[in-house]
Amino acid sequence: MQRRVVVTGVGLLTSVGIGTKPVWEAIKSGTNGIGPITAFDATDFNCRIAGEVKGFNPGDYIEKKEIKKMGRFIQFAIAASEFALEGAGLKPNPETAERTGVYIGSGIGGFEVIEREHRNLLEKGPSRISPFFIPATIINLASGYVSIRTGAKGPNSATATACTTSAHAVGDSFRLIQHDDADVMICGGAEACITPLGVGGFAAMRALSQRNDDPEHACRPWDVSRDGFIIGEGAGILVLEELEHAKGRGAPILAEIVGYGMSGDAYHITSPAEDGDGAYRVMRNSLRDAKIEAHQIDYINAHGTSTPLGDRIETTAIKRVFGDHARTVAVSSTKSMTGHLLGGAGGLEAGITVLAICDQIAPPTINLEVPDPDCDLDYVPNHARPMKIDYALTNSFGFGGTNGCLIFKKYE
């Protein structure tokens, strides 16, 4: 018998709010978090809008002398982990430290530090490179810092699988607890790449929306006028816990995680196959892992990036997996509000999916005005919907053809 795993804490930090409750309230109300870029002068860029985290003060969570040692994505991970642990009512202690692990990923890591230190190298010479440059930028230091700060001595790892990063981190953590390698995992992802190279690189691929004069309506998954995704930043962290461990300490149980699927497209470095084969197989694999049928899924938090190709292909894959039930399952993209957190998206959207189950509310897809004829499912347009959600699924797809899918269940 595999051990049952539950979610006892969720920590969220995005362009629509800082803290789990503010983010969730904003998501339910359909709040837009997209606006003009303020992190740098984007005048010469063809995309000048993003989902920036507003009003974040790292000093609220991190000692002043430590802040300069870490990239912004690490700061986000620390803050979101604090929110998640507080919600879970959990403080790792010496007795439980070896059974508590950390698994936090990032798709890109400390881009702003790389850009800054490269300028120092060119303008001032190698002697002016910060001694904190490497630990401030590398992806596994988000897990490292959270482990050090909490005293968690169990499994410590990180993923870097593009936009599937934190879905894989949550799923792998689920497996670690199932297989008795840990009792508690602090897991998810963080991203902070609203920088000249980050925005410029994705813009060069023609992947970003250019609706610069109307940022509030720029991210519009499944709409016929969608023209690309919006970069977002922030973090999504979950506390996963073995069921009996959680019950033994009287923890709040928000949902149970019951399924995890992975797949590879083996097709193209940035584009999914036209038939959505990888997306189809990852959802199929997660359903098989959960030991449930497709018709039992009530809600899907989709990858839904607002790209012309990606949205259509995900719709095709959902139809293939769910058959006739595809017309009745509620599907939404919360990226329409937060932007795309890249490596942080899976953790954020897993957290949102858990909260949707808790409150029995499907969050909306905002800005869906004229649906693409090829995208003809129930995307919960523009307004949240109270509904029965016993099982919910969330998708993440990444460059390189890497896919992850998680299934959560209402805890009983």
Torsion of CA 368, 372, 375, 380, to 10 degrees: 20
In this prediction, residue 262 carries a pLDDT of 98
Phi, psi of 259 (to 5 degrees): -145, 145
- Distance (Å, rounded) from C-alpha 239 to C-alpha 263? 24
For tokens 């989709």, what's the residue? 302
Annotated active-site residue 383? The verdict is no
Name residue 103's beta-bridge partners: 157, 187
- Structure tokens, 405: 């899918």
Specify the 3-state DSSP secondary structure of 396.
strand
- Distance (Å, rounded) from C-alpha 173 to C-alpha 167? 10
Please give the model's pTM, rounded to 2 decimal places.
Answer: 0.97
DSSP codes joined into one string, 278-333? HHHHHHHHHHHHHT--GGG--EEE------HHHHHHHHHHHHHHHGGGGGTSEEE-
Annotated active-site residue 47? The verdict is no
Give how far Cα 278 sits from Cα of 89, 157, 258, 281, 309, Å: 38, 25, 21, 5, 14
Annotated active-site residue 187? The verdict is no
In this prediction, residue 183 carries a pLDDT of 98
Write the pLDDT tens digit of every residue in 130-149: 999 999 999 999 999 999 99
Which residues, 6 or more positions from 23, have their beta carbon under 8 angstroms from its beta carbon?
12, 13, 14, 16, 17
- Distance (Å, rounded) from C-alpha 204 to C-alpha 206? 5
In this prediction, residue 92 carries a pLDDT of 80
Question: 168, 193, 303, 358: which one is catalytic?
Answer: 303
Specify the 3-state DSSP secondary structure of 51.
strand
Question: 163, 193, 375, 405: which one is catalytic?
Answer: 163
Longest dimension (CA), the chain: 64
In this prediction, residue 323 carries a pLDDT of 97
- Distance (Å, rounded) from C-alpha 405 to C-alpha 264? 12
In this prediction, residue 260 carries a pLDDT of 98
For tokens 């000048």, what's the residue? 48
Torsion of CA 164, 169, 172, 173, to 10 degrees: -150
In this prediction, residue 2 carries a pLDDT of 87
In this prediction, residue 224 carries a pLDDT of 98
Contact 180, 4 (CB under 8 A): no
Contact 47, 87 (CB under 8 A): no
- Distance (Å, rounded) from C-alpha 197 to C-alpha 75? 20
- Distance (Å, rounded) from C-alpha 384 to C-alpha 361? 7
Task: List the chain residues with pLDDT less than 70.
Answer: none
Question: 168, 187, 193, 340: which one is catalytic?
Answer: 340
